[in-house]
Every structure is written in C-alpha cells, then in structure tokens.
Amino acid sequence: MSDDLHIHPKSVPLSDSAAEHPSVFARAFNSGDAAAVEQVYEPGGLLVTAPGQPVTGADRIAANQRFLDLGSPIEVRPRHVYVADDIALLIVDWSIDGTDRDGQPVHIEGTATDVARRGPDGRWRYVIDNPFGTAEPAVHQGKR
C-alpha cells in the first residue's frame, strides 16, 4: 500500500524505521486530524480500546476521535522495539496531559504493546495498537 493513496493536508510522513513509528503516531495525533492518525494504521489494523475490546475500521476511527476530542497532546517514549523481518513489537510509554475543551484537566497514561508491519513501500503501520497493554487505563479528568 502506498502513502500516495492517502495524502491528506495534515498527513505525516510514515517512517522506514520501526523505532520511529511511535513518534510518527504522536505527530499525527498532535495534528488533531483523524485522517492523519488513520494513515499510521494498515487498513485492517485494530485498536484495543480496553482490555479484550479490539475495534477496527469505522469503530477504530471513532475511538481515536474520542482521544483527539480531548484536545491535549500525546507524548510517547519508546521503551523496547523488537524487529523480526517485517514485523515489530513496540513497547511504548505514553501520556496525554493537558486541559480538555471544557477546561478540565486531563491525564491519561499507559504502556502500549503494539505490533507494526513494514509494508511493500518500506513504511511501517500499526497492525495492532494496544495502548493500555495488559493494565487498566490510568485516566484522570476533572479536579486533580
């Protein structure tokens, strides 16, 4: 699949390095544009919204939009990257900190266990985006 098929005004160039893929996701997320975020996934890629609750397609787009609607940036810190041929396991600490659109403080964090695949174009995309790994999400909204 070629990047050219999904060019968007806020598109973020995909990387030819698995270790850079979490940063590509962060740039897409921080653009605030759902279409830019979609570019970092394979078409059939899934997002695990909570343990045991994977979604794909329109449901994945909607789930990512809920995170985008918080209006706060994401910060990613890759912990481990394991690559075998065209598959990568990415262990990534991340957090969303800021103030939501209603002026309430937001803090969400987790350690993702993600799987990415290098496409025929040499660029990496998520096959599985599991932002909370095996832990329950740490979410704090409102008064701190």
52-99 tens-digit pLDDT: 899 999 999 999 999 999 999 999 999 999 999 999 999 999 999 998
- Are 112 and 42 in contact by the 8 Å Cβ rule? The answer is no
Determine the Cα–Cα distance for residues 98 and 96; give it in Å rounded to an integer: 7
At residue 142 the predicted structure's pLDDT band, cuts being 50, 70 and 90, is low
114-136 tens-digit pLDDT: 999 999 999 999 999 999 997 65
What pLDDT score does 100 carry?
82
Residue 115 has which token pair?
Answer: 């799987």
Looking at the chain, the number of H-run helices and the number of E-run strands are 3, 7
Integer Rg of the chain from CA:
15
Indicate the pairing of strand 138-141 with strand 124-129.
unpaired
At residue 3 the predicted structure's pLDDT band, cuts being 50, 70 and 90, is very low
What pLDDT score does 105 carry?
92
Determine the Cα–Cα distance for residues 44 and 14; give it in Å rounded to an integer: 17
What pLDDT score does 23 carry?
97
> What sign has the CA pseudo-torsion 111, 76, 107, 131?
negative
Bridge partners of 138, per DSSP, are: 109
Domains of the chain with CATH codes: 3-141 (3.10.450.50)
At residue 35 the predicted structure's pLDDT band, cuts being 50, 70 and 90, is very high
What pLDDT score does 138 carry?
53
Q: CA of 43: how far to CAs of 84, 96, 110, 129, in Å?
A: 21, 25, 24, 13
54-64 tens-digit pLDDT: 999 999 999 99
**Span 35-39, mean pLDDT?**
95
What pLDDT score does 115 carry?
98
